[in-house]
Amino acid sequence: MDPDNTNILVLEDTPAFVAKAFVETVTDLAQYISNQRDLGNTDIRLSDQTMKTINSWGTPDWSDHGFSSQGPETSDIVIVDSSGSFFEGPAGSLLAKILKAMRLNPPEVYICNTADPDRLFSHIGRCSLKAVIAFGEKAGQILLGREEPLSQFRGRLHPINNTKFMATHHPVDLLDNPGLKRQVWDDMQVVMKHAGL
């Protein structure tokens, strides 16, 4: 292998890398579509929903701390992911079902991780939010500002800046223990009532 070869593709499968690659792909696709339309190519056929999804993704935000986010920054619902996986695979499918049951459109929800609490709190502080949902114990502890088991603070709303947050079980936990689904749905109903959903 030639060490001077700059055309070597290195693939990683860390959650942050995968999330970043996905957002970059959506951004590239949006740019490609725009360029094709500028060139007069009107044969591009994408559904209105697909175009809405492509256009709703904000600029990916990747810092040295590993903070990452996806979805429109103007969303009035923020989801904080404890695992940083951005709800891949079966956990992602389950999250999409939860959001749809709440009458939320998944691509219109802002999702971020907990890698940089200062950036997380900065985003929450500058936005007019209906609610913040913390999926997983770690996310809840960061928003709450203290370490205690999830069982001691889930199930009720907690103040955060100019809104409230609900901490609940992570979808990965629901896959491991389906008996927790009832608790999560109860928590989401509290959020729906508070947010007027």
Tokens 């491991």 belong to residue:
176
Rounded to 10 degrees, the C-alpha dihedral 111/157/191/145 comes to 0
Amino acid, single-letter form, for residue 165: F
- What the chain holds in terms of domains, given with CATH numbers, is 60-195 (3.40.470.10)
Residue that has been written with the tokens 């389906």 in this structure: 178
**Is 129's pLDDT higher than 80?**
yes
- pLDDT tens for 22-33 read 666 766 676 666
Residue 66, pLDDT score = 64
68-125 confidence digits (pLDDT tens): 777 788 888 888 888 766 567 788 888 888 999 999 888 888 888 776 778 778 888 8
Q: What sign results for the dihedral spanned by CA atoms 85, 98, 106, 80?
A: negative
Query: Is the model's pLDDT at 17 over the cut of 80?
Result: no
DSSP, res 151: G
Can you give the pLDDT at residue 155?
A: 92
Residue 187 is predicted with a pLDDT of: 95
pLDDT per position as a tens digit, 92-105: 888 888 999 999 88
- Cα-flanking dihedrals φ and ψ of residue 160, to 5°? -150, 115
